[in-house]
Amino acid sequence: MKRRGFLKTLLAFLGAASAASFVYPLSRYIAPPASTETSKTLVIAKREIPLGDAMEIVFNGVPAVILNRPGKGLVAISRVCTHLGCLVQYDKENKRLLCPCHAGIYDLEGNIVSGPPPKPLPKLPFRVEGETIVIG
């Protein structure tokens, strides 16, 4: 390789390396910082959710709903639709969860009944301690 060609290649390499050295800091900068929400527990009195009713909660920053289903007991499900992130609403009359954005329908277990959602709604861990429900 001639001297001029070598210097050109070296300059191109150094330029590319200098530009590339900013890629990592830039990608880290624009990526969202790790969530500061700590895993807490949420305590709710059982009597606040009569049979057949639901209660909307926010657990660790995630909107969710606790359903008191006749014959099937309590369940805590995320309200964030797995299609495009809208919040599902409890349709008491038809016993289902309905997404207002693209008409995704889930049953009261969070399973898909119809519409475009690709996955069921995630369930939240909970336990019943006497007269209280402990989420998380």
Q: Name 68's bridge partners.
A: 74
**Of residues 20-49, which lie at the interface with other proteins (CB under 8 A)?**
30-32, 35
- Should residue 110 be labelled a site residue for other proteins when binding is judged by CB under 8 A? no
CB-wise, 9 or 94, nearer to other proteins?
94
What is the nearest approach in angstroms of other proteins to the Cβ of residue 34? 10
CB-wise, 116 or 136, nearer to other proteins?
116
Report which of 134, 51, 63 is spatially closest to residue 95, judged by C-alpha positions.
51
What is the nearest approach in angstroms of other proteins to the Cβ of residue 40? 16
- Should residue 100 be labelled a site residue for other proteins when binding is judged by CB under 8 A? yes
Token readout for 41 is 């527990």
Vertex 29: Cα angle to 24 and 32 (nearest 5): 120
| E strand or H helix at 57 | strand 54-59
